[in-house]
Chains A and B, each alone.
Chain A
């Protein structure tokens, strides 16, 4: 099955569902079994209102995340003022792509969890949850739900600042419960379009082992702006209105929505791109 956001919500024929890159014969939907198994109980959903890719980047003072403000309904740009960056406590922030109702459920669940934690900290010396702990919670939740074959249809980046270790945190988790970390991360279409740009810029300064000096806040933000612009040019489910979250030891700061300077003049000269007759 194709988990790519551009394909989310598109039913696939068994022929399309075959994944040529896969070296192992993974379980493919069996129509005969499906008939019997899924007619009485059906909780396998498909995403409806979706957010496109989100980006994450480690830099000198912490982590930056970027997400645009669009929630699409299929190819319809349905909600154009949705914030897909969500702060959790003082030192963690989520960037969420995928199904927006599942995102709202997650927000409710996590805010509840953090409220309980805060209540404990009022009467006792109870440390706040570290980004890695919130990430572990999400990874367990996503894996448990995929194991019930009732996934939470999102791909999420968790950015944070670990106040104990005095280091930044950046992790990915998705609907399959798959997790990984890297100094630069992107979900969905962004993993094809933006991740190479992020890696190139990151490694140019920090070296391939990432041990050199990291990007400054200004450089990191300029890089994310550039990536969001490139994504807007090429991702048909994106919007040129996005926010950047910055997580440092000072806390989480989420920017106002902003737009990239775009240049469409070239389209005039291209047959099939501009408004001219064929």
Chain B
């Protein structure tokens, strides 16, 4: 009893002190990101709205970044941290290239990102990262992170404002959760969806998130990384994309004889 009284007195002393108006170094800039790995490709997508509370700061701010010929990084959370984090990652990748005369492999970028994030464990980058690309064995990969560096390789991941809308949808459509094959039919095997199906899922994800979440909208950027030598005819060419979508092949950052990266863009509702 005496102990209890002592404790509450001490607590009272602390909490009754005048409360200082402390500076909050963080902010949430909304938006959402998403990545899905295929057998020999990977798609990494993000919307382009940047907001603060109910205000749209800009309708075009980049959240998805091409790092190497086989790696694309999406950042979400506090935009200033995101931009500066990407700057730091790109610098480390440049140093690696100067030292080793090759681009850093995806799994190494993945580990480096965890190290950089954990390096600020006690003043974290308030950023949720998703890294997508092609592994050295040619498979499509997605790595997802929390702000202090916890990471794992997955088949798909959504993060950001509309994570709670998108992740259950992806669990159902990519991992076939809560689906049962018809009697006698082949069992579902996750990770084998064709690119056209994955792209359609990404677009539907973002149009739906735009409808239901105020922080998502304005524009969509989808990066598609393809394994070396993979045919591109399911993405490039007349009538391959839904109306209103555009695709361009991005210039190689390295030797240019390996993986290919494409940028698919589409507008989203602005309200």
A contact residues vs B (CB 8 Å cutoff): 1, 3, 10-14, 17, 19, 21-24, 26-29, 31-32, 34-35, 38, 44, 46, 143, 146-147, 149, 151, 172, 176-182, 191-192, 195, 208
Contact = CB atoms under 8 A, between A and B. Distances in A.
Would you call the interface of chain B mostly helix, strand, loop, or mixed? Answer: loop
Contacts of B53: 19, 21-22
A28 to B, nearest CB: 8
Given A177-B80, A178-B79, A180-B50, A34 B22 contact: yes
Nearest to B14: A32
A135 to B, nearest CB: 13
Contacts of B22: 1, 29, 34, 38, 44
Nearest to A203: B270
A177 B58 contact: no
A179 B20 contact: no
B24 A11 contact: no
Contacts of B135: none
Interface stretch (B26-34, B99-107, B244-252): B26-34
Give the contact-size bracket for chain B.
35 or more
Contacts of A146: 23, 25, 80
Given A180-B61, A192-B55, A23 B28 contact: yes
Contacts of B15: 31-32
Interface string B36-60: 0000000000000010111101111
B89 to A, nearest CB: 16
Interface of B: 14-15, 17, 19-30, 50, 52-55, 57-61, 77-80, 83-84, 123, 126, 161, 215, 270
Given A23-B28, A172-B57, 7 more contacts: A12-B21, A14-B19, A27-B25, A29-B19, A29-B24, A147-B25, A178-B29
B79 A46 contact: no
Contacts of B26: 26-27, 176
Contacts of A13: 19
A159 to B, nearest CB: 15
A178 B270 CA distance: 22
Contacts of B20: 11, 29, 34, 38, 44
Given A1-B24, A23-B28, A179 B270 contact: no
Contact of A180 (B58, B78, B126): B58
B23 A151 contact: yes
Most buried by B among A3, A32, A176: A176
Given A23-B161, A143-B80, A181-B58, A11 B17 contact: no
A208 B53 CA distance: 23
Contacts of B30: 23
A85 B179 CA distance: 62
A246 to B, nearest CB: 23
Nearest to A180: B58
Most buried by A among B17, B19, B22: B22
Contacts of B14: 31-32, 35
**What 10 A-B pairs have minimum CB-CB distances, sorted nearest first?**
A29-B22, A177-B80, A11-B21, A1-B24, A180-B58, A21-B53, A182-B58, A178-B80, A44-B23, A180-B57
Contact of A178 (B21, B23, B27, B123): B27
Contacts of A181: 58, 60
A234 to B, nearest CB: 16
Contact of B270 (A26, A143, A151, A208): A208
A166 B14 CA distance: 59
Most buried by A among B14, B52, B83, B126: B52
A19 B24 CA distance: 12
Contact of A1 (B23, B59, B80): B23
Nearest to A171: B58
Nearest to A173: B80
A195 B51 CA distance: 14
Contacts of A12: 21
B205 to A, nearest CB: 17
Nearest to B87: A140
Contacts of A35: 14, 17
A111 to B, nearest CB: 25
